[in-house]
């Protein structure tokens, strides 16, 4: 599988960084624009900036989904999760042979692909940040290897996917309990993707400001109640440790929701704060996540204001 094609659906900062690193390693990689279905086949030179300031540039094949007749290879979905039902329907029509790797934030983002009947679906939980700078360069910051786990498929193919996507700069590893990892990262992202956009501040705020960390701890405590109800056991200490690790590693980097709001794009807040709200509905725990709902509503309002401006 390592020598087969990789199609990255979504030409945002993560999709661009992954494409560059794969191309650098000699892999066959193409990018499919998520927002422009009719984009004609072209090539684009993408430059990624690593933490030490090193720049890597590669010329990437780019097209729209309508241009692609048959997708034969691995499809990595990095586009925003609010479009997943439409994307899943497109892949059901276009994907002839190969697995789908859902590389997105939030809970349940893989469900549309499973419900569409795609035969091989895997979930990736990212542990890196990527930002598109004003000069077009992608600023990339790794934290640790990102986890890929099985939703529908088999263990052998899972190992092959990890080997196919893994590069020295964008690393992956097999994860046996991907749902637990997804829950932990979601609880962390609920904090980052609501607090940082509302404060208009970078990810480093939680290790720099004790008051911000105290707010994060309160949100995590509420979120843990929902996780426990869903059968996922996590501790406050491990989630907080994960949050601080990402905060330190991506100090100075804005979270994706803040990047989206600044650019006048829709956010993924529905698969974060409001997915927890949905899971708590009709249960006494609903009253415990008032803060999570309130911050989500404020992000929605800020998103709407920027979309209209």
Residue showing tokens 């091989």? 120
Of 3.10.20.740, 1.10.3720.10, 1.10.1040.10, 3.90.550.60, the CATH number of 180-308 is 1.10.1040.10
pTM (2 decimals)? Answer: 0.92
pLDDT score at 41: 82
| Band of residue 286 on the pLDDT scale cut at 50, 70, 90 | confident
Please write the tens of the pLDDT for every residue from 207-245.
Answer: 999 999 999 999 999 999 999 999 999 999 999 999 999
Neighbouring residues of 46: CB distance < 8 A, sequence distance ≥ 6: 16, 19, 20, 57, 58, 59, 60, 138
Q: Beta 29-33 vs 55-64: how paired, if at all?
A: parallel
**End-to-end Cα spacing for the chain:** 46
Of 3.40.50.720, 3.30.230.70, 3.30.1370.110, 2.60.120.10, the CATH number of 5-176 is 3.40.50.720
| Band of residue 110 on the pLDDT scale cut at 50, 70, 90 | very high
The domain locations on the chain are: 5-176, 180-308
Question: In angstroms, what is the C-alpha Rg of the chain?
Answer: 19
Residue pair 275/107 in contact (Cβ under 8 Å)? The answer is: yes
């Amino acid at each position: 599988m390592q020598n087969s094609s990789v199609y990255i659906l979504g030409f945002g900062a993560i999709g661009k960084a992954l494409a560059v690193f794969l191309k650098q390693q000699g892999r066959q990689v193409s990018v499919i624009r998520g927002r422009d279905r009719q984009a004609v086949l072209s090539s684009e030179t993408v430059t990624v900036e690593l933490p030490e300031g090193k720049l890597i540039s590669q010329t990437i094949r780019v097209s729209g989904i309508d241009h692609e007749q048959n997708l034969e290879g691995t499809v990595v979905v990095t586009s925003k999760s609010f479009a997943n039902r439409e994307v899943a329907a497109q892949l059901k029509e276009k994907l002839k042979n190969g697995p789908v790797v859902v590389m997105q934030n939030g809970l349940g983002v893989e469900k549309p692909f499973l419900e569409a009947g795609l035969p091989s679906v895997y979930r990736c939980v990212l542990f890196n940040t990527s930002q598109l700078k004003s000069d077009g360069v992608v600023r990339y910051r790794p934290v640790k290897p990102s986890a890929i786990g099985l939703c529908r498929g088999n263990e052998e193919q899972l190992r092959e996917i990890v080997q196919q996507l893994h590069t020295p700069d964008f690393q992956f590893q097999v994860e046996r309990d991907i749902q637990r990892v997804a829950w932990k990262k979601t609880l962390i992202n609920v904090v980052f993707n609501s607090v940082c956009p509302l404060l208009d501040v970078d990810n480093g705020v939680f290790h720099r400001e004790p008051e911000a960390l105290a707010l994060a701890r309160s949100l995590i405590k509420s979120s843990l109640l929902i996780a426990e109800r869903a059968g996922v056991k996590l501790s406050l200490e491990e989630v907080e440790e994960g949050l601080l690790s990402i905060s330190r590693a991506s100090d100075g980097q804005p979270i994706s929701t803040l990047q989206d709001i600044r650019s006048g794009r829709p956010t993924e807040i529905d698969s974060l704060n409001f997915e927890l709200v949905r899971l708590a509905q009709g249960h006494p725990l609903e009253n415990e996540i008032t803060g999570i709902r309130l911050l989500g509503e404020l992000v929605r309002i800020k998103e709407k204001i920027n979309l209209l401006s």
